[in-house]
Structure 1
Amino acid sequence: MAGNKIYQTITFILISCSALLSYGQTLNLNSHINHADRLRQDFTFFRNSIQNTHPSLNRYSDEKTMSAVFDSCYASISEKTTDLEFYKMLKILMSKMKDGHLYCSLPPALETFRSERASFFPVKLRFIDGKAWVDAVAAPQIPAGSEIISINKQPINAVIPELFKYIVSDGNIQTKKYHILNNFFYFYYFIEFGETPFFDVDYKLKDGQIKSIKIKADLEKNILKNENANVHQPLLDFSIKSNQIALITIRSFEPSELKINYSDFLKNTFKKIRELNIKKLIIDLRGNTGGRDTYGSQLYSYLANKPFKYYKSLQTITMKMDFDKFKSNVSSYNNLTPKMFKKVHDNQYQLTKEAHPNLEIIYPDQSYNGEVWFLIDGLSFSTTAEFCAIAYSNKRGKFIGEETGGTYDGNTSGVQSELVLPNTKMEISFGTVKYEMAVKTAKEIGRGIIPEYKIQPTSQDIINKNDVQLNFAFQLAGQDNN
Structure 2
Amino acid sequence: MKKTALYLFIVFFFVQCASIKKHNKHLNDLIAEEKLKSDVDFTYRKLQELHPNLYWYISKEALDYKFDSLKLTLTKPITSFNFYKKLSPVVAAVRQGHLVVYPPTKLLTKRETKALIKKGTGPFSQFDFELFNEKLYVVKNKSYDKTIQSGTEVLAVNGTKPIDLIKKHNQYYSSDGYNNTFKTNYSGKRFSTFFSNENGIKDSLKFDFKFNDSLKTITIKRKKKDTNGTHSKKIKKKRVLKDKAKSKEIRKKKKVNGYYSVEKNYNRNLRFLEKDSSIAIMKIRSFKIGDYKTFYKESFSKIAEYQSKTLILDLRNNGGGRVSEIADLYSYLADSTFVFLDKSEVVSKASVFKGAYLSGGSFGFKALKTVFSPIMYTYLLLTVHKSQNGKNYYATQTKPHKVSKNAFKGKIYVLINGGSFSASSIISSNLKGSKRAYFVGEETGGAYNGTVAGFMPRVKLPNTNIQIRIGLMYMAPYFKTTLEGRGIFPDMQIIPTIEDRTKENDPEMNWILDDIKSGI
TM-score using structure 1 length: 0.76
Higher mean alpha-carbon deviation, 312-321 vs 131-140, is at: 131-140
How do 1:298-337 and structure 2 match up within 5 A? Answer: 298-323=328-353, 335-337=379-381
For the structure 1 residues 263 and 326, does the alpha-carbon distance in structure 2 shift closer, same or farther, using more than 3 Å as the test?
A: farther
Of structures 1 and 2, the larger Rg is shown by 2
Q: In the alignment, which of 13, 26, 29 is matched to residue 26 of structure 1?
A: 29
Tell me what 1:89 maps to: 86
Q: Deviations over 1:298-349 (max 9, x none)?
A: 211112112222223311222213449689xxxxxx9432663114456x32
Whole-angstrom CA distance in 2 between matches of 1:308 and 1:71: 46
Q: In the alignment, which of 371, 378, 388 is matched to residue 428 of structure 2?
A: 388
Whole-angstrom CA distance in 1 between matches of 2:105 and 2:486: 34
Q: Residue 46 of structure 2 aligns to a residue in which SS?
A: helix
Tell me what 1:134 maps to: 138
For the structure 1 residues 153 and 238, does the alpha-carbon distance in structure 2 shift closer, same or farther, using more than 3 Å as the test?
A: closer
Q: Are the counterparts in 2 of residues 323 and 335 from structure 1 also a CA contact under 8 Å?
A: no
How do 1:398-417 and structure 2 match up within 5 A? Answer: 398-417=438-457
For the structure 1 residues 57 and 456, does the alpha-carbon distance in structure 2 shift closer, same or farther, using more than 3 Å as the test?
A: same
Cα deviation for residue 394 of structure 1 reads 1.0
Q: Residue 487 of structure 2 aligns to a residue in which SS?
A: coil
Q: In the alignment, which of 424, 431, 448 is matched to residue 464 of structure 2?
A: 424
Whole-angstrom CA distance in 2 between matches of 1:274 and 1:265: 14
Q: In the alignment, which of 187, 190, 200 is matched to residue 181 of structure 1?
A: 187
Q: Are the counterparts in 2 of residues 56 and 434 from structure 1 also a CA contact under 8 Å?
A: yes
Whole-angstrom CA distance in 2 between matches of 1:448 and 1:101: 15
Tell me what 1:341 maps to: 385
For the structure 1 residues 462 and 103, does the alpha-carbon distance in structure 2 shift closer, same or farther, using more than 3 Å as the test?
A: same
Q: Are the counterparts in 2 of residues 246 and 280 from structure 1 also a CA contact under 8 Å?
A: yes
Tell me what 1:292 maps to: 322
Paired AA for residue 133 in structure 1: Y
Cα deviation for residue 365 of structure 1 reads 1.6
Paired AA for residue 238 in structure 1: L
Cα deviation for residue 96 of structure 1 reads 1.5
Q: In the alignment, which of 262, 270, 274 is matched to residue 238 of structure 1?
A: 270
Paired AA for residue 311 in structure 2: L
How do 1:466-477 and structure 2 match up within 5 A? Answer: 466-477=505-516
For the structure 1 residues 263 and 119, does the alpha-carbon distance in structure 2 shift closer, same or farther, using more than 3 Å as the test?
A: closer
Paired AA for residue 280 in structure 2: A
How do 1:53-452 and structure 2 match up within 5 A? Answer: 53-107=50-104, 109=106, 125-137=129-141, 143-147=149-153, 160-188=166-194, 201=208, 203=210, 205-206=211-212, 209=213, 211-214=214-217, 231-242=263-274, 243=276, 244-254=278-288, 257-258=289-290, 261-323=291-353, 335-337=379-381, 340-345=384-389, 348-351=391-394, 355-356=395-396, 358-366=397-405, 367-442=407-482, 444-452=483-491
Is there any run of 5+ residues in structure 2 with no aligned partner, and where?
Answer: 1-24, 117-121, 227-259, 359-377
1 or 2, which has the higher helix percentage?
A: 2
Cα RMSD after superposing both structures? 3.7
Paired AA for residue 266 in structure 2: P
Is there any run of 5+ residues in structure 1 with no aligned partner, and where?
Answer: 1-21, 29-34, 328-333
Q: Are the counterparts in 2 of residues 326 and 335 from structure 1 also a CA contact under 8 Å?
A: no
Cα deviation for residue 282 of structure 1 reads 0.8
Q: Are the counterparts in 2 of residues 163 and 192 from structure 1 also a CA contact under 8 Å?
A: no
Higher mean alpha-carbon deviation, 164-173 vs 458-467, is at: 458-467
Tell me what 1:460 maps to: 499
Whole-angstrom CA distance in 1 between matches of 2:188 and 2:40: 31
For the structure 1 residues 26 and 189, does the alpha-carbon distance in structure 2 shift closer, same or farther, using more than 3 Å as the test?
A: same
Whole-angstrom CA distance in 2 between matches of 1:457 and 1:59: 32
Paired AA for residue 103 in structure 1: V
Cα deviation for residue 100 of structure 1 reads 0.9
Q: Residue 90 of structure 2 aligns to a residue in which SS?
A: helix
Cα deviation for residue 360 of structure 1 reads 1.3
Q: Residue 350 of structure 2 aligns to a residue in which SS?
A: coil
Q: Are the counterparts in 2 of residues 319 and 338 from structure 1 also a CA contact under 8 Å?
A: no
Q: Deviations over 1:101-136 (max 9, x none)?
A: 122223354789xx98x9989975311244432333
Q: Are the counterparts in 2 of residues 163 and 189 from structure 1 also a CA contact under 8 Å?
A: no
Cα deviation for residue 200 of structure 1 reads 8.6
Whole-angstrom CA distance in 2 between matches of 1:387 and 1:292: 11
Q: Are the counterparts in 2 of residues 198 and 214 from structure 1 also a CA contact under 8 Å?
A: no
Whole-angstrom CA distance in 2 between matches of 1:279 and 1:177: 35
Q: Deviations over 1:408-451 (max 9, x none)?
A: 10000111132222222222211011112221423x32111121
Whole-angstrom CA distance in 1 between matches of 2:282 and 2:314: 6
Whole-angstrom CA distance in 1 between matches of 2:169 and 2:462: 28
Whole-angstrom CA distance in 2 between matches of 1:152 and 1:268: 50
Q: Residue 135 of structure 1 aligns to a residue in which SS?
A: strand
Q: Residue 180 of structure 1 aligns to a residue in which SS?
A: helix
Paired AA for residue 341 in structure 1: H
- Structure of greater relative contact order (alpha carbons < 8 Å, 6+ residues apart): 1
Cα deviation for residue 390 of structure 1 reads 0.3
For the structure 1 residues 156 and 234, does the alpha-carbon distance in structure 2 shift closer, same or farther, using more than 3 Å as the test?
A: closer
Paired AA for residue 128 in structure 1: F
Q: Are the counterparts in 2 of residues 239 and 248 from structure 1 also a CA contact under 8 Å?
A: yes
Paired AA for residue 381 in structure 2: T
Q: Residue 437 of structure 1 aligns to a residue in which SS?
A: coil
For the structure 1 residues 416 and 422, does the alpha-carbon distance in structure 2 shift closer, same or farther, using more than 3 Å as the test?
A: same
Cα deviation for residue 171 of structure 1 reads 1.0
Cα deviation for residue 386 of structure 1 reads 0.4
Q: Residue 312 of structure 1 aligns to a residue in which SS?
A: coil
Paired AA for residue 29 in structure 2: T
- Pairs aligned (count): 426
Cα deviation for residue 164 of structure 1 reads 1.7
Pair 1:36 & 2:40 matched: no
Percent of aligned pairs with the same residue?
27
Paired AA for residue 350 in structure 1: Y
Q: Deviations over 1:437-477 (max 9, x none)?
A: 221423x3211112122223332332333333333332222
